[in-house]
Amino acid sequence: MREIMMSAPDIQPEDIERVVEVLKSRSLSLGPFLERFERSFADYLGVEHAVAVSSGTAGLHLCVCAAGIGPGQEVITSPFSFVASANCVLYERATPVFVDIDEESMNIDPDLVGAAVTDRTRAVLPVHVFGQACAIGEIDALCRKHGLIMIEDACEALGTEYCGRKVGTFGRAAVFAFYPNKQMTAGEGGIIATNDAGWARTFQSLRNQGRGEMGPWLLHEQLGFNYRLDEMSAALAFSQLTRIEVLIERRRKAAESYRERLRDVPGVRLLSPVATTTRLSWFVLVVRLDERISRDGVVEYLRKNGVPTRTYFSPIHLFPFYRQRFGYKEGAFPVAERVAASTLALPFHSNISHADIEYVTTCLKNAVERCTP
């Protein structure tokens, strides 16, 4: 059997050199690479401010804090996402309100968002799942109509465009993440993008234990957190960002190679950009299986043949602590549950070889044949 990697970061010699440069310096935190990375990221995205933090989760949490969201207030979001997009609301003892998703895009259904707005709604937190742009234009218009704050979870969508405009530039703030399976990596880490100077200052303080901008080092002006991004991670992120378009293009080509090989496989459908996603920046390679196909059987066959897989995503509302706290039951959001039961992520990264893609797709074809009644 071949040894197939589920995902792998693209680390080049220049990335290592940048990190070593930091290690040889005397500045391992809040140093020059952090500033360079933040400025470069803001320029790439086309926003005024970018504030790096320790993770995408930390970034989402700080956005909820900056928005003043708290007990008794609600944030509308998607149940089909990584759990952090809902947990960040719970951190401030507010309530995440789920609405179902659109089956084609797998993103939050904008037609359902308006119906979920109440006098307790403070914000909408849409997610660009798998690098597919959600209906951000419609959601933005709805937020403006109701006077709601919009926070974009773009953690999986660096480089994605909605109607020719980069996602992450629509909301009051947007968050990106740099875990090793993302389009670019800092090992860990995330960044908040915003055009609001006041929010940017708030993020800079909150990530650093609530310290003031001009005050003494140990003067803490507000309750904050240790959400700093260390200088080694900032150097790696800065280096990766210099070739982000190359990394995105390699992933696009790998996705097209998968698409070509899976085109005629009955019951298997690869994620495709919807009309408003004018550029899909691939995060993971997700396929949907026909309901007649045993996904568990496919997963087991692939495992036995050395092909790792992931079931992206399990619906958040069916996690044990969400069931216990809010009383959710199966059937609450049928589209999200149906999509979640049929999706499967295959090995994917910017340097995956054609031989590995050929092997994975051949195994998948064989698995589907065996697991279809």
For residue range 142-175, list pLDDT tens digits in order.
999 999 999 999 999 999 999 999 999 999 999 9
Distance of CA 258 to the CA centre of its chain: 22
End-to-end CA distance of the chain: 27
The DSSP line for 55-74 is: -HHHHHHHHHHHTT--TT-E
Q: The tokens of 354 are what?
A: 């054609």
Q: Which CATH class is domain 245-371?
A: alpha beta
pLDDT over threshold 80, residue 342: yes
How large is the average pLDDT for residues 359-371?
98
pLDDT over threshold 70, residue 180: yes
Q: Return the closest-CA partner of residue 107 out of 79, 145, 85.
A: 79
For residue range 311-334, list pLDDT tens digits in order.
999 999 999 999 999 999 999 999
Q: Are the C-beta atoms of 247 and 96 separated by less than 8 Å?
A: no
Q: Which residue has the tokens 């809040």?
A: 30
Q: Where are the alpha helices (DSSP H) in 195-349?
A: 197-206, 231-241, 244-262, 295-304, 320-326, 334-342
- Residue 211: φ, ψ to 5°: -70, 150
Banded model confidence at residue 246, pLDDT cuts 50, 70, 90: very high
For residue range 89-98, list pLDDT tens digits in order.
999 999 999 9
| Continuous segment of H or E residues that includes residue 191 | strand 190-194
Percent of the chain residues topping a pLDDT of 70: 99
Banded model confidence at residue 115, pLDDT cuts 50, 70, 90: very high
So what's the pLDDT on residue 214?
Answer: 66
Cα distance between residue 19 and residue 277, in whole Å: 35
Banded model confidence at residue 2, pLDDT cuts 50, 70, 90: confident
Cα distance between residue 211 and residue 219, in whole Å: 6
Q: Which CATH class is domain 13-241?
A: alpha beta
- Domain segments of the chain as ranges: 13-241, 245-371
Banded model confidence at residue 215, pLDDT cuts 50, 70, 90: low
So what's the pLDDT on residue 26?
Answer: 87
Banded model confidence at residue 73, pLDDT cuts 50, 70, 90: very high
How large is the average pLDDT for residues 76-103?
98
How large is the average pLDDT for residues 273-295?
97
pLDDT over threshold 70, residue 268: yes
The DSSP line for 87-100 is: HHHHTTT-EEEE--
How large is the average pLDDT for residues 50-73?
98
Q: Return the closest-CA partner of residue 121 out of 139, 97, 90.
A: 97
Q: Are the C-beta atoms of 349 and 362 separated by less than 8 Å?
A: no
The DSSP line for 17-65 is: HHHHHHHTSS--BS-HHHHHHHHHHHHHHT-SEEEEES-HHHHHHHHHH
How large is the average pLDDT for residues 360-370?
98
Burial tier of 308 (Cβ tally within 10 Å: 0-12, 13-18, 19+): middle
Cα distance between residue 131 and residue 177, in whole Å: 12
How large is the average pLDDT for residues 287-292?
97
pLDDT over threshold 90, residue 19: yes
Q: Are the C-beta atoms of 290 and 267 separated by less than 8 Å?
A: yes
So what's the pLDDT on residue 1?
Answer: 66
Q: What average pLDDT is seen over the chain?
A: 97
Cα distance between residue 4 and residue 53, in whole Å: 32
